[in-house]
Structure 1
Amino acid sequence: TELAEPVKARYLKLTNVFTPDSGKFAVKDLRVFGNPEKAKFTKVNKVFVARDPEDRRNATITWEAVKGADGYVVRYGIEPGKLYNNYMVYDANTITIYSLNREPDYYFEVEAFDSGTDYYRERTEQTMGRGAEIELAMGPKMIERKMIKEGVNEYVFENIVPGQYIFRHTFGPVLWRGELTKAELTGSEEKPTVTAVLSDLGVGTKVTGQMELKVIPGKENGKIVVTLNYSK
């Protein structure tokens, strides 16, 4: 799903406000696409580490502040090329870590970052996801995948040729399958030759519409039109 309009932001917080049928909230994948052109990252050269001699699990890291930095990423690990652990630090140039192992030596690295914005203000955007993505396959080959976007209720798959097709939700469920013939895909009239109801739409057990499929013939090839028809 997508926000209705682009948003300028430095941080992203995801909050679940509703789950159908009182189900458990879970996130399979979260991808955020933004514009990092103005962001800057600077490696900090002067880094000082003081390990607690009485409890080697603790270490205090201090570094020279970088002018204009929004924050710092402190990376550490037991080998120079394997700094897989990290902390993010804001409004400070020191941090104490209490979770090291006693025996090994540790290596540390600090990187300053500037997000490229000169302000921060909280802005809440609410979006109602209609699903993830829908895809059309011809036999075992996936032809095209489309993201369901809020406010967009029609999705068109062009240049459909005769063959066996499967239309599914990317989470797995098959919504429709069937063979489309040349007679169904070619013609001079733009009247549907095949129609099908793919799925009910709604929240929980409340049905508010239907997802429908139509096959529209063309001069040489046809097209499949999927519409989200909301009644409420």
Structure 2
Amino acid sequence: GSMDGKIWSILVDRINDYKDVPNDYIELDFPQIVRYIRYKNIHVPMSKLSISDLRIFGSGYGQIPAKVKNLVVNRYKDRRDAMITWDQQENFIGYNIVWGISPDKMYNSWMVYEKHFLELKSLTVDQSYYFSVEAFNENGISERTVIVKSE
């Protein structure tokens, strides 16, 4: 990792590991403060290296978004569809909309960026649903809204 992209420190050293780990998860022994991450390949048995996913988790130093307000869910005449709206937050990157068939079974989610609405077109006609929304940014995730039931 690096703070400036010029001076680097080794966060993980796998030079002596020879096992195949296609979905490896690495948790550092202690948090690191870095701005840049670099992967340096030493050797692969084939001629080309392929990385399909590299995810880095952490938090910024600013404020998390405030709790989302004024969640409204309107089912359309075609009850498979619903328009979900809420008040736009300041200091946000996106929103997670979660829903399900019971307040304790909200297993579905949809992420949106830049907008404060979602037109959902995948509901069951004769089913009631429960919805909630949370805002997120590089510093964390807000508290979820009060759960709203839609008949």
TM-score in terms of structure 2 length = 0.54
| Match of residue 93 from structure 1 | 116
Would the aligned equivalents of 1:70 and 1:90 in 2 still touch at CA under 8 Å?
A: yes
How far apart are the structure 2 equivalents of 1:20 and 1:42?
49
| Bigger relative contact order (CA 8 A; separation at least 6) | 2
Q: Please tell me the residue identity of whatever aligns with 1:34.
A: G
Residue by residue over 1:3-43, the C-alpha shift from the partner in whole angstroms, topping out at 9 and shown as x without a partner, is 8563269xxxxxxxxx85489x686x965242344351433
What is the one-letter code of the residue matched to 2:98?
R
In the TM superposition, what whole-angstrom CA distance separates every residue of 1:55-82 from its partner, at most 9, and x where no partner exists?
x221110111112222211111111122
Question: Using a 3 Å threshold, how does the CA distance of structure 1 residues 22 and 77 change in structure 2: closer, same or farther?
Answer: farther
Q: Counterparts of 1:32 and 1:42 in 2: how far apart (Å)?
A: 24
The answer to whether residue 74 in structure 2 is matched with residue 50 in structure 1 is yes
CA-atom RMSD, angstroms? 3.3
How many residues end up aligned between the 2 structures? 104
1:7 aligns to what? Answer: 35
Q: Normalized per residue, which structure has more strand?
A: 1
For structure 1, the residue ranges without an aligned partner over 5 or more in a row are 10-18, 117-232
| Structure 2 gap ranges (5+) | 3-7, 10-33, 38-43, 140-151
Note the C-alpha offset of 1:109.
0.8
Seen in structure 2, the aligned counterparts of structure 1 residues 100 and 52 have a Cα distance that, compared at 3 Å, is same
| Structure of larger gyration radius | 1
Identity %: 36
Residue of structure 2 in register with 1:66 after alignment: 89
Change (3 A) 1:86 1:68: same
